[in-house]
Amino acid sequence: MLTAKNELLAALAAELEILSPGAGAKAAFESPKVAAHGDFACTAAMQLAKPLKLNPRALGEQLKTALEATPAFQRWVAAIEIAGPGFLNIRLQPAAKQEVVREVLAAGARFGYQADRGEKVLVEFVSANPTGPLHVGHGRQAALGDAICNLFGTQGWKVHREFYYNDAGVQIDTLTKSTQLRAKGFQPGDDCWPTDSDNPLAKNFYNGDYIADIAEAFKARATVKADDREFTANGDVEDYDNIRQFAVAYLRNEQDKDLQAFALHFDEYYLESSLYTSGRVEATVNKLVANGKTYEQDGALWLKSTDYGDDKDRVMRKQDGTFTYFVPDVAYHIAKWERGFTKVVNIQGTDHHGTIARVRAGLQAADVGIPQGYPDYVLHTMVRVVKGGEEVKISKRAGSYVTLRDLIEWTSKDAVRFFLLSRKPDTEYTFDVDLAVAQNNDNPVYYVQYAHARICSVLRAWQEAGGGDVAALKDVDLSALEGPQAQALMLQLAKYPEMLTAAAEGEAPHDVTFYLRDLAASYHSYYDAERILVDDEAVKKARLALVAATAQVLHNGLAVLGVSAPARM
């Protein structure tokens, strides 16, 4: 069907160009709002009527006549109907829809993929500071980042996955102090444990059981290894720096376990500290000063960010000489640009919204050739977790929040990924643990996976009864696929490549979850309407080819989400 659609679009473009030079570039088909009206709709007559000073319905009749005379429309179209003020409703020949079955089976796992575009994209996500286990908000970010990377991969981008973390600063200092107190035998509630009244950082002290675990491992002189570091504790509870390095390595190891449970990998871990040790932060500040984009006031250094659309100027260097958070961020993004990433996407929580304007302002003020609007941002809200009808707010391990590993252990990696991707990132989401483990049609991931397993069961039964090779089904006669449910299922299959392209362009993996649910529904309707393993060999093979193609697209779509496609359930 993709071949048919491309030929029909080319014919439409040619006829529009004749009517109005330049109009051919805008040739497009839409999906009719009512399925009974046809397979494609064309609104070109109404769009061109005013500039051409013609009646839109009369122009529609003229375009209809011209299209019916083209070889492409004669081959692939059963009828063109005029509706309303000039809509063209196009009904395809069954053979046009049947063609998608061959296209899917021929392309296999690469159905919907676009050619290599020779460009790189860096997606930065999770980026959790090594101060505790990953929480469910990090899980949403992990699911979003991985799926967006996979979407870019289908569109020909060379994708680089990056994890950035702050391995210095106040939070790491708080982690170290918390671990040191635990290592000395103290715990939250003891007289020596900081309180809000005597320590402004006390509200951020880490009270979860995992801090006690780090302290015990430190005293035992354990060696911990993460993807990006390895460290052995010396056991000296007075050696503050040793405790700091060990705690960071320990929690990086813990985060690696979270990521492994989520089947997630990164190409690079980028340290904030490297921006300072490499001189990038200093060089960035010097460039902004040299460009005349800063000024001194009240003992602080300010960026003229209002020159670039920010609502107020921002402090870069505080009175105590330390830099505010966005300064290393600017240096980091200059580094991304210099590494050849013309497209960069940052996936962060909505609490980072305020950093967007100041980072982009800093990049423009640096004047290093970075285009406006760089980088892209995908912001997500946090996630509420409900179990047994009640909200779950804390974890024994973390002390104050539900961890990603908790959620995976309660449900599954597949359920967590699919559920966390099933809504737009910036919408509130409640994760229902009970629904995620339910084996019924109300559970969306079960519903989609069951459709795939159901098809695999049919194909297995056919093969066990002496059927042939599934791969050979791409060459069978498909003319028997004429029923309304089969036609609807084939139309749904044909939407997959365009859906992928739109989802990648919109950085919207939730579109894939919606599509998969619609495809599963189309399959279940088809399965209920037509028996597949019939006696008539030609009909049976045609139907087997259709369901095999459906299984392939379900598999492909689930793979984009990082979700498995089980053959048995």
| Distances from the Cα of 534 to the Cα of 35, 105, 531, angstroms | 29, 21, 6
Whole-number pLDDT of residue 28: 92
Whole-number pLDDT of residue 195: 61
Nearest residue to 563 via CA among 436, 474, 455: 436
Mean pLDDT (whole number) for 531-551: 97
> Where is pLDDT greater, at 519 or 27?
519
Q: What is the pLDDT of residues 111-122, one digit of tens each?
A: 999 999 999 999
- pTM of the full structure: 0.89
Whole-number pLDDT of residue 128: 86
Whole-number pLDDT of residue 468: 84
Whole-number pLDDT of residue 396: 57
Percentage of the chain surpassing pLDDT 90? 78
Whole-number pLDDT of residue 201: 46
Whole-number pLDDT of residue 530: 95
DSSP string for 236-275: -TT-HHHHHHHHHHHHHHHHHHHHHHTT---SEEEEHHHH
Alpha carbons 205 and 194: distance in angstroms, whole number:
8
Asked if residue 31 has pLDDT above 90, the reply is no
pLDDT band at 408 (very low <50, low <70, confident <90, very high): very high
Q: Are 395 and 403 in contact (CB under 8 A)?
A: yes
Whole-number pLDDT of residue 395: 61
pLDDT band at 397 (very low <50, low <70, confident <90, very high): low
Neighbour-count burial of 383, counting CB atoms closer than 10 A to its CB (0-12 exposed, 13-18 middle, 19+ buried): buried
Asked if residue 165 has pLDDT above 90, the reply is no
Q: What is the pLDDT of residues 189-240, one digit of tens each?
A: 787 777 654 555 445 678 888 899 999 999 999 999 987 789 999 999 999 9
Number of C-beta neighbours around residue 482 at 10 A: 13
pLDDT band at 170 (very low <50, low <70, confident <90, very high): confident
Whole-number pLDDT of residue 492: 95
Q: What is the pLDDT of residues 507-529, one digit of tens each?
A: 999 999 999 999 999 999 999 99
Out of 25-34, 86-95, 439-448, 545-554, least confident range: 25-34
pLDDT band at 467 (very low <50, low <70, confident <90, very high): confident
Q: Are 567 and 453 in contact (CB under 8 A)?
A: yes
Out of 40-54, 194-208, 229-243, 475-489, least confident range: 194-208
Whole-number pLDDT of residue 565: 98
- List CB contacts of 530: < 8 A, sequence separation 6 or more: 483, 485, 486, 543
Query: Which residues partner with 296 through β-bridges?
Result: 301
- List CB contacts of 330: < 8 A, sequence separation 6 or more: 284, 359, 362, 363, 366
Mean pLDDT (whole number) for 323-335: 94
Mean pLDDT (whole number) for 379-390: 93
Asked if residue 399 has pLDDT above 80, the reply is no
Whole-number pLDDT of residue 202: 46
State the chain's mean pLDDT as an integer: 92
List domains and CATH numbers for the chain. Answer: 2-92 (3.30.1360.70), 278-380 (3.40.50.620), 441-561 (1.10.730.10)
Alpha carbons 345 and 333: distance in angstroms, whole number:
11
Whole-number pLDDT of residue 35: 76
